Amino acid sequence: MEDAADMASDNSIPLGVGASAYGSENGEEELDFIPQRTLPILIGYSEPVGHVERAESPALSYSSWHSNQWSDSDPWQEPCETKVHLKRRDSSASSSVSFDVSDDDVNMEDNLEESSRKKTRSKDRGQKQQSAPLPVKPELQVDPKARHPAMTVEFAFKALSTCLQKLTVDELKRFRKLLWERYPEVFRDPVDGLDLVNLVDKMLELCDLEVSLNITLVLLKTMNLKRLVDFLEGLCMRIKVRYELKLTLKRKFEMVHEGFGQKGQPVPFESVYTDLYISDGINAAVNSEHEFRQKVEDLFETGKVNRKPLASKDILAPENRRTRHVRSVVVRGSPGCGKSFAVQRFILDWVDGKTHQDIFFLLPMNFKELNQMRDEEYTLLGIINSLYPEMKEVENLDFEGCPVMFIFDGLDDSQINFEFRRTVYWCDTDRPTTVKILITNLIRGNLLYSCSVLVISRPGVLDAIPQEHTHQLLEVRGFNSDQREAYFRRTIENQALAERVIEHLKGSKTLFIMCHLPLFCWVASKVLQREFQSLSPSAQLPKTLTNLYTCMVHFHTQMCPQKLQDSPSEETKDVTADQLLIRLTKLAYVMLEKDEFKMEKEHLDEIEMDTYPAVVCSGLCSEYYRDKFVMYTERVSCFAHPTIQEYMAALHVFYCFRKQGKNILESGKLKVLKVSLSDLLKSAVDKVLSCKNCNYDIFLQFLLGLSVETNQELLKDLLQISTSSSQHAREETTRYIRKKIKENHYPEKNEYLLRCIDELNPQCEH
């Protein structure tokens, strides 16, 4: 049969369409060729001759389409199952010529050899042409090495599903048809019967994920669906920008400085962060727990208080934004309670994909940064691009499926004087205006209503944002009891040392109560670690209070000058940090004498401060609202904790003694020309012992502790006093207290008086 076919080919005898099917394109020697269409005369075939086979499933991704792989699947290189039996008439060369040996026979043999050589050469050329790869469509040409890390299968599935869901039934039907017709090399089986989810699955299964996106874009353009093309392209661009934004936030917030300011080496955030106690802020008061006072009436919470702890994921939770339409949340807390750490935890959880992944762009903005822009005009995107250059590719923030959240941290640091009731309404994101107008209208909801806003602030500036624009108020309360111990175990590498620190703090109820403030925990950790490391394992430290409180006040006052400078309040312009501290000490003493803990207008008048925001710069005061009557909400201003007020009152008494030589504890008695330190301390002991309640107990401990030189050294620059030796006065006061204990007139206070002796002599006990 092959001989007959060869002879037929050599003699170029046309048989129907077979002649053209076997013809050479360039008129050269004929090649073996499988017809592209079904022959009119088919005898004994198994498949139509013109059938084009589709790619096997799953098809190779573009990265694996190479010439050798294509030729492996090319039917030209494999034995073809199609069999064409053509019944042809005998040619003269095969039937009419005798086989006698003659010159003609020799010539015929030569012709046959030459024809065989031509046949071999033509087959070789045909194989070379058939092994060349077919041209690949542009949308199938992608380089996997150049793929952006943000392009994940999860994103591709969501993007394709969201996009195709916007097609009508007829449009989706046409999309399937075009997919099948245009890409036979990818899809072997029909896709008409696949629903949307299975269709997207099949595309991602058979194609590279970028190829799937490219194919979808090409088909949508073919269908003239420009809106969907823009939507899908916008999603792909934004997911890349989001990835870069997360990298920026990771670098910015993965390290942290503990304490105040940016001093010292930063440490990894995860190595020091301990979960914080965050709760609903309605009617939430300051922590007024006290060792000697059963209940501080002025600071007691009224009304219903929701103390249920909230995690980072509960702040602006998706269900609250969706069902309760919560878009603006204010998070407040006393100074040192851990607000900045709470914000950092929120940001890093988003960056790491743990929470709030429905938020597409998270944009933290610190008011210290915004202060520098307050005199210029910007568009909303202009401000964002100044702080986050990777966002420059984004031309529109109001994009479907890409919600935005702004975090404004440090409202109390803002130099922008917000006036919501006087600020113009602004809805245009493309027109430049002042930062004040932009932020005000973001919080109002006039500008980019679809976004969410989280504002972090100390309590002193709560009035800056009206209640009608605050959908939820949260309170950062610091640490609960378990979290306090967890903090020390987490931050102190030597666990044996950590347990000693915890044991020491729990031995003093006042100290352990104050550890609800993370700042105080940090101070205690640094101070106690240093002291314990200098002692033998069996040595113990006295349970003194004054040194730790003095360190904390010292750190607060270090930040006070910057707070005063940033404050937009008029009455703080000419006030220095030391003047403010001295005024606050006087305020604390006046309130303690009256047994009051809530700041009233007359209290502020006595220290020549017109409004509360002036004193908040110290970092030692707080503020909250509570329900006083059914229809009336009371604003309460106070010190951050009752013991801080008692410390400041003791500091006022000591300051008056050092600067003016007066003993204000005996103001009603005859004035003594010269008062010694031992006289001052003895009169304080007498005052406490004669008091029927325990209102001055902590106060006395602080006053005795302030006589120690190490505590005076921390405050000498601020109070402008010199450090002097007080050894003789402290020894004399110690003897006086021991005498009182021996007399046993106040047996219920003997243990307390021993603690007072510890304050005078803060050396270790062996």
Instruction: Provide the sign of the torsion angle of the four alpha carbons 33, 38, 43, 46, taken in this order.
Output: positive
Among residues 674, 695, 702, 688, which one has the least CA distance to residue 758?
702
**Same domain (yes/no): 326, 472:** yes
Q: Which of 119, 134, 149 finishes a domain?
A: 134
472: which strand partners? 329
Determine contact, residues 367/408, Cβ cutoff 8 Å.
yes
Peptide bond just before 613 cis, omega within 30 deg: no
For residue 151, what are the CA distances in angstroms to 144, 164, 210, 230, 450?
Answer: 11, 18, 8, 18, 26
65, 66, 67, 70: CA torsion to nearest 10: -30
Give pLDDT tens digits for 347-406: 999 999 999 999 999 999 999 999 999 999 999 999 999 999 999 999 999 999 899 999
* One domain for residues 382 and 434: yes
State the Cα–Cα distance between residues 307 and 479, nearest whole angstrom.
Answer: 13
In a domain, 578, yes or no: no
* Domain membership flag for residue 439: yes
**Measured between alpha carbons, how far is 240 from 313 in angstroms, rounded to an integer?**
24
* CATH classification of the domain holding 399: 3.40.50
pLDDT digits (tens, 9 = 90+) for 622-668: 887 776 666 677 778 888 899 999 999 999 999 999 888 889 988 76
Whose CA is closest to 357, among 349, 367, 366, 345? 349
Type of residue numbered 319: E
What secondary structure letter does DSSP report for 39? -
Please identify every stretch of the chain with a pLDDT value under 70, giving residue numbers as ranges. Answer: 1-135, 259-264, 283, 297-298, 301-304, 462, 567-573, 610-614, 627-631, 668-673, 764-766
Residue 366: beta bridge partners?
Answer: 409
Quote the number of domains for the chain: 4
CA distances from 316 to 202, 518, 612 (A): 37, 24, 30
Domain harbouring 209, CATH code: 1.10.533
Of 476, 507, 525, the last residue of a domain is 476
The answer on 399 and 345 residing in a single domain is: yes
- Note the pLDDT of residue 673: 61
Is residue 65, in this structure, part of any structural domain at all?
yes
Looking at the domain assignment, is residue 406 inside a domain?
yes
Do 437 and 514 lie in one domain? The reply is no
Does 317 reside within a domain?
Answer: yes
701 vs 711: CA distance, rounded Å: 13
- Laid out side by side, the sheet with 452-457 consists of 278-280, 472-476, 328-332, 452-457, 404-409, 361-366
Whether 319 is in a domain gets the answer yes
464: left (phi over 0), alpha (psi -120 to 50) or beta: alpha
Residue indicated by tokens 């040192």: 336
> In the prediction, which pLDDT does 292 show?
85
Paired tokens of 389: 């250059």
The 3-state DSSP class for residue 274 equals coil
Q: What per-residue confidence (pLDDT) applies to 175?
A: 95
The pLDDT score that the predictor gives to residue 151 is 92
> What pLDDT does residue 16 have?
37
- Which residues constitute the domain of residue 162? 139-249
Tens digit of each residue's pLDDT (9 = 90 or more) over 314-342: 999 888 888 888 899 999 888 889 999 99
Q: Which residues contact 107 (CB under 8 A, 6 or more apart)?
A: none
453 and 503 both lie in a single domain = no
The token pair at 142 is 């992608």
75, 205: one domain: no
Q: Is residue 637 part of a domain?
A: no
Instruction: Verify that 127 and 174 share a domain, yes or no.
Output: no
Q: How far apart are CA 160 and CA 212, in angstroms?
A: 8
| Same domain assignment for residues 209 and 144 | yes
Q: What pLDDT does residue 112 have? A: 46
Return the CA Rg of the chain: 43
Q: 64 to each of 172, 385, 386, how far by Cα in Å?
A: 29, 40, 43
Residue 386, both tokens = 């100044």
59 shares a domain with 196: no
Residues 591, 639: Cα–Cα separation, whole Å: 11
Retrieve residue 361's tokens.
């762009």
Among 476, 492, 523, identify where a domain stops: 476
| H or E, element range at 591 | helix 577-593
Pair (317, 443) in one structural domain = yes
Instruction: Tell me whether residue 352 is in a domain.
Output: yes
pTM (predicted TM-score): 0.78
CB contact at 8 A, 549 and 702? yes
Residue whose entry in the numeric block shows the structure tokens 């991704």: 61
Residues 153 and 125 both lie in one domain = no
* Whether residue 342 sits in one domain with residue 468: yes
